[in-house]
Structure formats: structure tokens, C-alpha cells
A = this chain, B = another copy of it.
Amino acid sequence: MTLLTIGQVAQRAGIRPSAIRYYESLSLLPKVPRQNGQRRYQPDVLDRLAFIQVAQQLGFSLKELHQLLGNAAEESQLATRWQTLASRKLAEVELLLTQAQTMQQLLHQGLRCGCADLSTCLDCVVANCQPIGEKGAGRKRVRMH
């Protein structure tokens, strides 16, 4: 078995070793066995780190990830608790999806618009360019939530 040093893990995950130690201190990563006092990781820690990074970009805090990943020592209702959080987070992710789609259209049309800044484009894409929604009539503002 090829165990990885913290430096190797950090390089492959695209983060710093200090971040990995920080995650361990928060119990986001398990304590791993040592060789001469140095941490040695199984390669599957990269999956865990990839999950953490994606979840963070989607707005999950490290505290939430800690609960979600079930490292908390609170045994009572742990199962129900992470599922409560997960379903709340699912709703947030779904909202984020629609927001990202709207922003995608806005940026896409703003780029084809030739405006001096996005502030102008916020009006411009509705008034002068192709409509951002399915209905392009009227002086409708871009509202995203």
C-alpha cells in the first residue's frame, strides 16, 4: 500500500499542508497513523478533501461539514440530525442552481452587449439586448431572489 505524506496529499488536492492540519483539528479529517511522528494518508483522503472543497464552494461552512460528515461525538439523534441538515442544504443547493443559471445568462449576455460595465448591463440586457427571461417585453428588472 502506498501511503501519502501530508505534502503529497496537499499537492494533489491543491491546498496547503496547514489547511489539512487545520481540518484535522476540526475533526473534518480523521486522525491518521504516523511514521516517525509524521502523518501517513490513504489515497482515499483525496475524495474526502474533494468533497470538502466542493461543498465549501457551494456555501457549506466547515461547521456544517463537520455535522454532515458525522464526526461529531454526539451519538444521540446523530442520524436524524445530519439528515435534517442535509435536506436543508439540498434546498439551498437547489436555490443556488437557479441563481447560478440566472447569473450565467446575465454574464453571457452582458459580455455580448459591449457595455462599459456590468452595472450598465444590468439595465442594458433587459432594455436593449435579448431578453434574459422567456418574456422579453417591458422594462422588467433583473431580480434574482
Contacts and interface: CB of A to CB of B under 8 A. Distances in A.
Interface of A: 44, 47-48, 50-51, 53-55, 57-59, 68-71, 78-79, 82-83, 86-87, 89-90, 93-94, 96-97, 99-104, 107-108, 110-111, 114-120, 122, 141-145
A50 B143 contact: yes
Main secondary structure of the interface of A (DSSP, over half): helix
A117 B68 contact: yes
Contacts of A53: 145
Q: How many copies of this kind of chain does the complex include?
A: 2
B117 A69 contact: yes
Most B Cβ at <10 Å: residue of A48, A104, A115: A104
A118 B68 contact: yes
Given A54-B102, A78-B116, 16 more contacts: A47-B143, A51-B142, A51-B144, A54-B144, A57-B96, A58-B96, A68-B117, A69-B117, A70-B120, A78-B117, A79-B114, A82-B118, A86-B110, A87-B111, A96-B96, A97-B101
A95 to B, nearest CB: 9
A70 B103 contact: no
Contacts of A90: 104, 107-108, 111
A141 to B, nearest CB: 5
Contact of A44 (B44, B68, B101, B141): B141
A103 B107 contact: no
